[in-house]
Structure 1
Amino acid sequence: MTQILVPPFTEETARAKVQAAENAWNSRNPDRVSLAYTADSEWRNRDSFLTGRDEIRALLSAKWQKERDYKLKKELWAFGGNRIAVRFEYEWRDEADQWWRSYGNENWEFAPDGLMQKRFASINDVPINDTERRL
């Protein structure tokens, strides 16, 4: 039986929530990932401002069509109450086979049922050579 991770978070449950998010995102399945968010979830992702699962699913579908061979690693940065902050990096290659490493931070806020109601992400991309890949 899967443990439902709800706030307030302990270090153990915050780490588990971060790992669950990493696993889901690495599936590159927009339907699966979108179910972790409330129906009216608010997002800022780079320069996009989204509301709701349908917009989240559409952004993720486009993302993973562009970002081929996507591989993500998330780390817990801080937590308290119903909020978690993470740092992350991921690698991907574009349609011209240029590899990229994207770095960022996310601030998450959760509803009482454990679904994420707010996600604010700041992300920077750096071109890398194939030999520089580490994920």
Structure 2
Amino acid sequence: PLPPFTRATATEKVRKAEDAWNGRDPERVSMAYTPDSLWRNRSTFLQGRPAIIDFLTRKWSQEDEYRLIKELWAFSDDRIAVRFAYEWRDRAGGWWRAYGNENWAFDEMGLMRERHASINDVSIAPEDRLFHWDRAAPRPVGHPGLTALGL
């Protein structure tokens, strides 16, 4: 979907981003961003596709069983705000749920030129996990989103 966004195209853009991130392929994910895209992810600042690929490669090498759900929060002509949560297991076997918000700005071709992410991690018990689908796959159509899960 290209700007200017409507509710339908913004929702579609968010779901496509979610599906790509759940695929855990840094090269593929990086192609959704401009070659010089600016990122703030927590306290990490980076720029450009090579830095994005490096960042995501490191991230997903440490987050086993990663599963993400994104939800549209707001949008304008060339901007989208999302809230999200993802669950993952650390190398020691502990489970985590990360909660966050992202602000995105797009160029006229629909590539993200800016991504600002604020994220908090909460330790969860294995039985408190809510995201259940095949690893490294898109969230199934029937799986509830954040609002339906009470997140």
Same fold (TM over 0.5): yes
Q: Aligned residue pairs: how many?
A: 131
Letter in 1 for 2:9: T
Correspondence 1:12 to 2:8: yes
Q: What is the distance in 2 between the residues matched to 1:95 and 1:33?
A: 24
Which 5+ residue runs of structure 2 have no aligned equivalent? Answer: 132-151
Letter in 1 for 2:6: T
Q: Secondary structure at the match of 1:7?
A: coil
Q: How many Å separate the matches in 2 of 1:78 and 1:42?
A: 20
Given the alignment, which residue of 32, 35, 44 partners 2:31? 35
Aligned CA-pair RMSD = 0.3
* Structure 1 stretches of 4+ moved >3 Å: none
Structure-2 separation of matches of 1:78 and 1:99: 30
- 1:46 corresponds, among 42, 45, 58, to 42
What does the per-residue CA deviation read over 1:75-111, in whole Å, with 9 as the maximum and x for residues that have no partner?
0000001000000000000000100000000000000
- Separation in structure 2 between the aligned mates of residue 107 and residue 47 of structure 1, nearest angstrom: 15
Q: Which has the higher strand share?
A: 1
2:19 equivalent in structure 1? 23
Alignment of 1:45-64 (within 5 A): 45-64=41-60
Task: Give the aligned partner of residue 95 of structure 1.
Answer: 91
Match of 1:129 among 101, 125, 132: 125
Distance in 1 (alpha carbons) for counterparts of 2:43 and 2:51: 14
> Hey, what does 2:109 align to over in structure 1?
113
Amino acid at match of 1:123: I
1:21-50 CA distances to partner (integer Å, 9 max, x unpaired)? Answer: 000000000011000000000000011001
CA distance in 2, matches of 1:48, 1:6: 28
